Amino acid sequence: MPKFMFIYHGGGRPETPEEGEKVMAAWMKWMEGIGADLVDGGNPAGMSKTVSVDGVANDGGANPVSGYTLVNASDMDAACEIAKACPILEGGMGTVEVAEAMEM
């Protein structure tokens, strides 16, 4: 079965411990709903650097990544359906970029 990467952009960090617990509960509920198709729940991402032939820039990239998840899905449409329920979308604060992890 194909694997798909969910790359998160935006979102934000909880401002209080109570908010953190609420956010974590939403993520755990979503991941439990994915069930056996959850390959890697992933993690939040820290600030990135961009490495190019010109050197290293501390700019966070053109569209900074805030985290990732890896799932199995039958196809891109199925992966997007899973992503539509992702908690990062609540309140319009973040987005999910979906890409197939191509087998080599």
Instruction: Measure the CA–CA gap between 89 and 93, rounded to whole angstroms.
Output: 6
What are 92-103's pLDDT values in tens digits? 889 999 999 998
Looking up tokens 């050197």 gives: 55
What are 4-61's pLDDT values in tens digits? 999 999 988 888 999 999 999 999 999 999 999 999 999 999 888 989 999 999 887 7
Nearest CA among 30, 25, 99 for reference residue 65: 99
Identify whether the C-beta of residue 55 lies closer than 8 Å to the C-beta of residue 19.
no
